[in-house]
Structure 1
Amino acid sequence: MSLAPVRAAFFDVDETLITCKSMACVLARFWGHGERTDHRLAAAWASLQGLIRAGAPREQVNRSFFRFLVGSHLDDLESCGREWYEKARAGGLLHTPVHEALRRHAHAGDLVVLVSGAFSACLDPLAREIGADLVVCTVPEITSEGRLTGELIGAPMIGEAKAAAARRIMTAFGLAPGDCFAYADDESDLPLLRAVGHPVLVGDGPVSAPPSETDSWTRLPGPDQMVRAALDGTPAPDGTPAAAVTPAAAETPAPAVTSAPVATGAATTPADAGSVPAPAGAAAAPAESVAASVTPAPAGVAVAAEDAATGRADRSAGTVTHASPCTSGVVPPPPVVPVGAMASQAA
């Protein structure tokens, strides 16, 4: 991120930036192996799938997941998350088309933000490797002994919460929504995609958005589409030849996709990864800009979903909810601080 970014790029994580459901993967590793664990996992997935089939909102499904972790120690979960990430990363965890788009945004000096319903144990290793400037995530409630209660601090980072967080960040940094980007794959991500001027659908995209709205949006292939392209010999939706995608695409990232959108501030244009233009208007950024004095926040900084019930803090323009690095947990609930103070407080 530049000292005064003029654009932001918001990235959904599961099945957008990475090829799997991170919380499911971390839970499976945390619970271990064996027949008893297999039955336990099967019962957990059946419970969640039952909620989904019954039409439960994604926010309810997300809350239900954290109830499986009652009594678990955050340190143990985060250690397990790091182990999972190291193994999965070696097998091709990152979804190449989206990862390369993220790298171009970072190279152009854009603010790179991960926005996910997952939590720190899943997201912190990823955020540190890719150099994310901010992580906006669901925050589990933690006891003074560091154990999860099964409840959350505020709302899950799902649906409208993602859009609200993106708007707060854009306001805090003085960014024009029309110049910003969002990458996401799910129906629940529509509010986030609609909050920016450059929405990018990953995969088949939300089904309820009318074509009259989405026809002008940029599309990138999802992980499952890359696999299907390899198996049936058809090109991926972005034009990547099937021969360039291996059948193991779910584990081994596909080759570079050069048609991913590049942050130009005006329009989405194809470009090679090494030829990203300077951000439009960067030279003219006013010295008195809200974000002018902000130094890049360290990777892994979390922005909590909501204020805790123990004290609703002001959410006026120019503030975002801030928790110190993801790995620290959240006890007590994170304060709301001015954006200009984020870097110094997180240091």
Structure 2
Amino acid sequence: MRRRTAAFLDVDGTVINVTSMFRFLEFRLAAEGHPPSAYRYERQRLKAMTAAGVPRAETNRAYFASYAGADVREIAALAEEWFRAELDRGDFFNEQVVEALRAHQHAGDLIVLVSGSFRACLAPIARYLDADVVVCSDPETAHGRYTGRVERPMIGEAKAEAVRTLTTTARLDLPTSTSYGDHTSDLPLLRMTGRAVVVGEDPEMREQARRHGWTVWPRHHLPQDSQLAHSRHPRP
């Protein structure tokens, strides 16, 4: 049986021009009636961890701690509302990457979104793009609520391991497949496929692209912290 070609795409900073987890957190806190300072505090807390050299997988875990006790269905519904607001705002998708994704679909390739974000944020994006598979961080839940824990953030080597598993179960051909990413944590993924595209201006990523003969595409420069969340009325 012939193996299928796939396109593996990181999401934040690659398929979309923003970081979904933070944009949604800003939107969620505003919807819950929190002042803008609540988001700024949480964002600065996580930035400080990164600046201190904390591994990205650990900052990912720290992010999900704020969801402890949140209702899974309510978060999913709010994420749908957030996505619609992002579309209305515009410049959400990196159109060059989306155009490439459509070309992969036209060629019959399996479309796989691979992200450190979580399913609530990614579901409306995947549905809009008609992606086949979503590989992501899966926060722990119990009795319909998030516990605030995530066992395995989909960061770095976790992405490569997930792709290896999918390659076996879906009978994929990695040498003819293509991967897309913007951050050094995407390198384990990009090194697995026969073709790779680096999105953005990260110097280390551009150097890796030069060494491996990968394609480099620009990324739109949009602020990560927008006024999107606070342009709506909080829920009562």
TM norm. shorter chain > 0.5: yes
Give the AA of the match of 2:56: R
Aligned counterparts of 1:122 and 1:97: Cα–Cα separation in 2: 21
Structure of higher RCO (CA pairs closer than 8 Å, 6+ residues apart): 2
Q: Which position in structure 2 is the counterpart of 1:131?
A: 130
SS at structure 2 position matched to 1:223? coil
Paired position in structure 1 for 2:234: none
Identity %: 39
Instruction: Name 1:183's counterpart in structure 2.
Output: 180
Where does the alignment leave 5 or more consecutive residues of structure 2 unmatched?
227-236
Displacement after TM superposition at 1:36 (Å): 4.8
* Structure with the larger helix share: 2
5 Å matches for 1:30-41? 30-32=28-30, 36-41=34-39
Aligned counterpart, 1:64: 62
Contact 2:9-2:180 within 8 A present in 1 as well: yes
Relative to the length of structure 2, the TM-score reads 0.87
Q: Deviations over 1:288-311 (max 9, x none)?
A: xxxxxxxxxxxxxxxxxxxxxxxx
2:81 matches 1:89: no
| CA-CA distance at 1:34 after TM superposition | 9.7
Q: Secondary structure at the match of 2:54?
A: coil
Contact 2:198–2:205 under 8 Å retained in 1 = no
What are the Cα deviations for residues 286-341 of structure 1, in whole angstroms up to 9, with x where unaligned?
xxxxxxxxxxxxxxxxxxxxxxxxxxxxxxxxxxxxxxxxxxxxxxxxxxxxxxxx
Structure 1 position 26 matched with structure 2 position 24: yes
The equivalences for 1:181-260 within 5 A come to: 181-205=178-202, 207=204, 210=207, 214=211, 216-224=213-221
How far apart, CA to CA, are the structure 2 residues paired with 1:79 and 1:206? Answer: 38
CA positional deviation for 1:177:
1.6
Aligned to 1:118, the other structure's residue is in SS state strand
How far apart are the structure 2 equivalents of 1:212 and 1:24? 28
Deviation at 1:70, TM superposition (A): 1.0
Q: Which runs of 4+ in 1 moved over 4 A?
A: 33-36, 208-213
- Do the aligned partners of residues 209 and 168 (structure 1) sit closer, same or farther apart at CA in structure 2, a change above 3 Å counting? farther
* Amino acid paired to 1:189: D
SS in 1 for 2:35: helix
Distance 1:132 1:192, change over 3 A: same
CA distance in 1: counterparts of 2:105 and 2:82, whole angstroms: 25
CA RMSD in angstroms, aligned pairs only: 2.2
Structure 1 or 2, whichever has the larger Rg, is 1
Aligned letter for 1:207?
A: E
Alignment CA distance shift 1:212-1:206 (3 Å):
closer
